[in-house]
Structure 1
């Protein structure tokens, strides 16, 4: 059995029905026998999944993905529901811990942690003729574009006498016209892709013309990176650092909002019990989970529906569930958040003291 649903987004998984297979398989290794090492890891993971009760048909459906995982990435992520493989991803870094579980809710936080750092960004290498543009999108194929303007009188000449100023002005006008073409194309891509940043490099004067000719909504996204870059390749590497800073700022802003709302006794709650209760009531706008496996492995309870969650059997029974089942609190909370349209933020451990018990929520409304 193969899947036609492997491009499902994490949010779209909320409509699936468990139990679920969650596999994070280490597929790294530049050594000649890397493929054989991946096969051995998969065999070990398959035995663990089989022992947990995973149907053979699901294991058979997952196996083809493991065979072609190397060298596609360093972590193979597979999420399968009761019927089929629903999601497959290849992540560029090895997993901190390999995961192979079969349970009532999927294990999604490692994937969400990676996705929250994959912000869409445009990378631009510009010169006085035009620009090369790469649109880097989370979990999408990168798009490449080229904008080329006119080259007539593009180089400043140095004729003597009264004509010098006229020739130089003509070159300046052409550079600016070409920069306008690039700015117009960027405006189109901003509307299409909604990037968090536009990382630009290249000829200093061309960059300045681009900044001057861009609309405010484009100009506010521009991040200039310095260096001897004559193509987008090196700029893409620099863009990774820009994206990292933006992603870190997003997390810090979410934690700051959480702290502010808690301080005002307003739209925030913390701790396992209170947070799960607000998830059950669909109150949560943003779920914060400290990225600590020990904290998130503590038991919580859930029913057949993702929003039937609580810290105790009694709390879930009160929601009309006859037989609540245990599952790690991190997985229970994440699953409920996705099902109710909440954002999930993985909080680094250096901010753990800002989120009590490692679990908290910014609320849509208070009761």
Structure 2
């Protein structure tokens, strides 16, 4: 899961107002509904202790006009601090439970659960003349840059479209030669974009297979194919989007399975070697504070996620007991949910966060961590 979206929220101390809003746009009195929602939300925040400036910023954001198709039913999440809405982002759908919260740590876990792993994909649209390459990720669709035909003008970023990146095969070259050039461009774009999967779409089956075969083995393992679409603008767009959504879902399941397998293996390690996994609130708090968490596993339904821990303004000021946070220099420690406090500290330490929805795969209690190797610890 890519966590750059959370960086503005993670890097600032609290207190924070968090709002998960369910917004409908299908009636004639949209403005009235927005005003009612904004007023009820800010009244709740004020009752929880939020300051007037922050309540005012949230109210203003909730009543602001939004571009949305008629009848759309969507969700939004807002994080506000010190009179400023620091992050206002849409959800893939309405929130599972709309709510407003005020506390020392932002309520980020429901957002992570809503967006899931969200793997970044490098989409390669093929035809017999070449390919268009586009990266699909947290910013939408982005052109990866220019390669191949140097006579073409520089490409444009197109967040709402698939096209714009052209890798044109030179006339007279065989498809095998072109496939090799495309494979080289795919490798370069994959490495530079941070993509986690490649999707070959359009073209004939043998054309997709030839490009696939010319990729390095590490890319072939994460490359998928779709027979739909092509390089023409809008070609079978609905079918292409469906196929890509299915491929991203498959990739997410595979990634979660790999992570949970590593967690179980690490939790079962014994002997003289240092453990490679941690579970239970005390062990996780200690590992997070020491920045030893490589990957934090979070289940939305675990029994431990809502347990209270003690925090301070600093992301590393985290403990099971308030006195321990005071010993770290925080004069007024406060309590926060374990899941949100651990996510804040883990993200600040460069950890990956993986949401595990399957209860059979999830760590006991809903929280677990794969740990970084200690200095001098041998690889597995």
TM > 0.5 between the two?
Answer: yes
SS in 2 for 1:279: helix
Measured in 2, the distance between the counterparts of 1:293 and 1:81 equals 28
Conserved in 2, the CA contact under 8 Å of 1:302 and 1:310? yes
Aligned counterpart, 1:342: 351
Alignment partner of 1:363 out of 340, 360, 371: 371
Is residue 124–residue 235 contact of structure 1 (8 Å, CA) maintained in 2? no
Q: Following the alignment from structure 1 to structure 2, what is the Cα–Cα distance between the partners of residues 61 and 128? A: 53
Deviation at 1:77, TM superposition (A): 1.6
Change over 3 Å in CA distance of 1:283–1:210 after alignment to 2: closer
CA distance in structure 2 between the aligned counterparts of 1:213 and 1:366, rounded to whole angstroms: 38
The 8 Å contact of residues 284 and 369 in structure 2, kept in 1 or not, is answered as yes
Corresponding position: 1:15 with 2:11? yes
Distance in 2 between the 1:68 and 1:109 partners?
A: 27
Is the aligned partner of 1:312 residue 2:321? yes
Q: What's 2:160 paired with?
A: none
- Unmatched 5+ stretches in structure 1: 1-6, 153-172
Alignment deviations for residues 39-84 of structure 1 (CA, whole Å, 9 cap, x no partner): 4322221111121222222233334432234528822121122353
Change (3 A) 1:289 1:8: closer
Asked if 1:119 is matched to 2:119, the reply is yes
Please say if residues 15 and 102 of structure 2, whose CA atoms lie closer than 8 Å, have aligned partners that are also in contact: yes
**How far apart, in 1, do the equivalents of 2:189 and 2:335 lie?**
46
What does residue range 1-367 of structure 1 map to in structure 2 within 5 Å? 9-34=5-30, 36-66=32-62, 67-69=64-66, 71=68, 74-82=74-82, 84-143=84-143, 144=163, 145-150=165-170, 174-202=174-202, 203-216=204-217, 218-227=219-228, 231=235, 233=237, 234-265=239-270, 266-292=275-301, 295-351=304-360, 354-365=362-373
CA distance in 2, matches of 1:98, 1:293: 19
Normalising by structure 1, what TM-score? 0.81
State the match for 1:166 in structure 2. Answer: none
Contact 1:309 1:332 in 2 (8 A): yes
Distance 1:237 1:142 in 2: 19
8 Å Cα contact 2:315/2:348 also seen in 1: yes
* 142 and 41 in structure 1: CA distance in 2 versus 1, 3 angstrom threshold: farther
Deviations along 1:309-346, one digit per CA (max 9) or x if unpaired, are 22233443454444321122222222221222222222
Within 2, Cα distance between the matches of 1:228 and 1:279? Answer: 45
Rounded to whole Å, the distance in 1 between the matches of 2:286 and 2:5 is: 26
1:185 and 1:268 mapped to 2: Cα distance? 38
Distance 1:8 1:42, change over 3 A: farther
Q: Contact (CA 8 Å) 2:14, 2:104: kept in 1 or not? A: yes
CA distance in 2, matches of 1:146, 1:31: 43
Q: Label 1:226 to 1:25 Cα distance change in 2 as closer, same or farther (>3 A).
A: same
Alpha-carbon RMSD across the aligned residues, in angstroms, is: 2.9
Please give the alpha-carbon distance, in whole angstroms, between the structure 1 residues aligned to 2:246 and 2:335: 40
**Residues 20-39 of structure 1: CA deviation (Å, up to 9, x unaligned):** 11111112454454554344
User: Which is further off, 61-70 or 117-126?
Assistant: 61-70
**What is the match of residue 152 of structure 2?**
none
Unaligned runs of 5+ in 2: 144-162, 376-380
The range that moved more, 65-74 or 18-27, is 65-74
Moved more, 38-47 or 289-298: 289-298
Larger radius of gyration: 1
CA distance in 2, matches of 1:278, 1:217: 31
SS in 2 for 1:269: strand
TM-score normalised per structure 2: 0.79
SS in 2 for 1:9: helix
Greater Cα offset, 108-117 or 210-219: 210-219
Number of aligned residue pairs: give it. 340
